[in-house]
Structures are given as structure tokens and as C-alpha cells.
Chain A
Amino acid sequence: MKRLMHFAMSLLIIALPSSSFSAGGGGEPIVIVADTRWTSGISHWWATLYNESHLYFTIVTCIIIPVVGVIFGVITDFIMAHIGIDLTKRGHGGH
């Protein structure tokens, strides 16, 4: 176990500088700013959130995307079940 730990530590020490070298060298990343002059309502709030904090923007995005997907997925499920399609069984699939 001790040997394994030593191996893992040395691997980390060797790997870290090489990975930082490979990631570097590209200069400063381009910063995009949303133009809020032509927006209003939700769109304005959205663009402002983007400009103020990419972290909050990411959190809100990661919540909204699955929720919207599930809402419209469930609506489609409801429509297909209403038509009469059996959504509980796969049927014969073959290999």
C-alpha cells in the first residue's frame, strides 16, 4: 500500500508540470461581453447575469436545461400515450 502511494505521488509530481505545460502557451482567453443595450425583460436579466458571473450563469444553465428537457419530454410522452402507443413495453427488439 505504501509503495502504491509512493508510486501515485511520484506520478502526480511528474504529471502536473507536464499537464500545465500542455495547457499553457495560448495567451489570455478571449472575454465575451453580452451587449445589454438591445435587450429587455428576461433577455436583459439573462445577459446581465452572463456579464456579472459566469459561475451563476453556469449553475442556472445546468438547472434550466434538464428541467426544460424533462417538461417537453413528459408532454410528448403524454401525447403519445393519449394516441394509444404502449410506452411500457419495448416489444420484440432482436439482437
Chain B
Amino acid sequence: MDWLYVHMPIAGVDIFWPGLIILGIGVGIIGGFFGMGGAWMVTPGLNILGFPMAFAIGTDIAHMAGKSLVSTMRHGKFGNVDYKLGVIMIIGTVGGFEVGAQMIMWLERLGSVDKVVRYIYLVLLAFIAWLVFYDVHKKKKKEEEARRLGRDPEEAVGVEWHKTLHKIKIPPMVHLNVAGIYCSAWLPIAVSFFTGWLAGILGIGGGLIRMPSLVYLLGCPTHVAVGTDLFEVMISGLYGAASYTYKGRTELVAAIIMLIGASMGAQVGAVATKYIHGYGIRIVFGWAVLGCALSIVFKLIGAQVPAYKTLLDNASTVLVLGLVAAMSLYIFVRMVIGAREEIAAKKQGRAH
């Protein structure tokens, strides 16, 4: 069975290559669907396949750059990317990320930075999950009310914090045509600075925070939030790939093998947004955030109770990989069902 293993010339380890392709397909589908890089899923996966941690991070970022480029192109063709918003947000993201990274170095000198970061991460994820499910609950309530009053329930929207933020009229004002937003340019800059700062502190790409921020703070439709976020991930991914590779921590052979699966999966995930509507995406996203939060809880308990550390670390990895498998399968099945219905409708249309 030697042919199932490929030698990684830089990391110096033999890796089970079908595992890389399967992992790539899974995170590609999820990334293309939610608009995130998915480092929290890939890094433990690569680690399990046998990569040293430093190479796992670098290889993940390198494949992320290629994958997000493909899904940005697809979302761009669907009209899901607000490039103007994306470019404005780069200013805030870069500034915020740098401030966050500097703060981490400052915290590092004070000690116990890891614990602080994990707790902030956990609180943030719990808040995002709560927000998503609260939003869904509020929308359902409004739908019921609309039905009672004889109005169209389809028009009901849950949380609308962005409406309050849109009232801030500090010039210059900008029209974001694809997102359908008219607001002060300082709003997307402030939101991206905030999300960039959090990403810098937590040492993550930021898609997990940026996507819900685009929806709830800026008021982007879910599809546009996904597409625009991928545009940001693509730019930060390319920068991160260059940075990690220059430091010698990227295993390109593995990144390419993963990318074969991920670029195909990313297309599937992006096309799936055609068939799963805005709130459907939000609900699945909420489950993804909950899974991520739970895996961190396991790691935190493991750090407190050394006797169960190995068990809880393994449980955390199994949970993350199980979540990747379950969600990508769900998205794939929904996409196949949607595509079949579309093709059947086309054939019927031709018959008439």
C-alpha cells in the first residue's frame, strides 16, 4: 500500500494522500458555502495526517489562497461579491490585524496569553452562535405575526442592528451597490478594523467573525456577505501564503494535493448557495460555530485536567473532523437535490 503515501520533501514525512484530497474537498465545500478559510478545521486535520504543527498552518494558508480565489471567481459570476466594499474593508482589516498582533506580543510579555486568547475565542463563538439562533428565532416570530396580519411572511427579517448603524451619517457616504447599502464609509472601515483586530488577537483568518459582522452590522444579504468575505480571505490568504512560505513553513506538495480537492469542493460549495437560501446558510453556519466552540471547550478542560488531556484532545479533533464531514455532506446533498430540480424544470420547460 506504499502507493497511497507520498513523501513530503520539506517536512520529511510520508503522508496518506487520499486523506489530503478528502480533507480538501470537505473544507473546500464548507469554505465556498460559508465564505471562510476554515483554518480551525484544516489545521487539526493536517496534524492528524502527520504534519508537524508549523507546516500544518503554512500548508493550510497556502491551499486557502488558491481555494478562495476559485470560490471568489464563482461568487463574482453570481454577483455575490461587492468589490467596492471588499477594497474599503481591506484598510480596516490590515490596520486592525496589526494592532491585534501587537497586543498579543504585549500580552505575551505579561504571560498566560494562550489561556486569555482561548477564553476570548470561546466567548466570541458563543456570542456568534447565540446571535445566529436568536436571529432565526426572531425571524420565525415575525413570520408568524405577518401570517396573522395577512402580510407576506417572506419579507420578515430577524435581527436588524445594521438599521441603527446606518443612521450614522459621518461623511463620506458610500453607495455599495451589490450589497444594496448606503452608509458612512467609516462603518465598513470600523467593522473591518474590529474584526481584523479580533482576528489578529485570536491568530485566525477572520472569516468566522467577518461573515456574521457583514450580515448583522453592515446589513449585507447573506450571499453577498459570503462572496465579499471570500474576497477578503483570498487577499489575506495570498499574503499569508507568501509570508509563511518565505519563512520556510509551507509544504507545497501537500498544498497542491489538498488544493485539487479544495478547488473542486469550493465550486460545489459556492454553487450550493444557489439552492440554500439566506437563512438556511445562517442556520448551518450557527451549527459550525457551535461545533468550533465545543472543540475549544474540550481543549480548555483538557488543559485543566491533565489526566483526561489526551482523551479530550482526541475528542476535540474527532468532533471537528466529524463536523467537517457532516456539514460538507449535507451541503453536497442539498446541492445535488437543487441541481436535479433545476435540470428537471429545464427539461419540462423545453417539453412545453
Contacts and interface: CB of A to CB of B under 8 A. Distances in A.
B252 A62 contact: no
Name, among B221, B255, B274, the residue most crowded by chain A CB atoms within 10 Å (CB to CB): B274
Contacts of A72: 70, 259-260, 263-264
Interface of B: 7, 9-10, 12, 62-63, 65-67, 69-70, 73-74, 77-80, 102, 105-106, 157, 221-223, 238, 241-242, 245-250, 252-253, 255-256, 259-260, 262-264, 266-268, 271, 273-275, 277-279, 339, 342-343, 346
Interface in A51-95: 54-55, 57-58, 61-62, 64-66, 68-73, 75-77, 80, 83-95
- Closest 8 A/B residue pairs (Cβ): A69-B66, A73-B70, A94-B278, A94-B277, A47-B9, A72-B263, A90-B78, A76-B267
Interface string A21-41: 011000001011011101100
A10 interface: no
12 contacts: A23-B105, A32-B249, A34-B9, A58-B245, A61-B255, A68-B259, A72-B70, A73-B69, A89-B274, A91-B274, A94-B277, A94-B278
A69 B271 contact: no
Given A50-B9, A72-B263, A90-B78, A62 B245 contact: yes
A24 to B, nearest CB: 10
A68 B12 CA distance: 23
A73 B250 CA distance: 22
Nearest to A50: B10
B255 A65 contact: yes
A94 B157 CA distance: 10
Interface residues of A, number: 48
B221 A47 contact: no
B5 to A, nearest CB: 13
A68 B62 CA distance: 12
A68 B66 contact: yes
B339 A85 contact: yes
Question: Max chain A CB contacts within 10 Å: which of B249, B262, B267, B279?
Answer: B267
Interface of A: 19, 22-23, 29, 31-32, 34-36, 38-39, 43-44, 46-47, 50, 54-55, 57-58, 61-62, 64-66, 68-73, 75-77, 80, 83-95
Given A66-B66, A91-B274, A54 B245 contact: yes
B267 A38 contact: no
Given A19-B102, A39-B9, A87 B271 contact: yes
A32 B267 contact: no
A84 B66 contact: no
Nearest to A47: B9
A34 B10 contact: yes
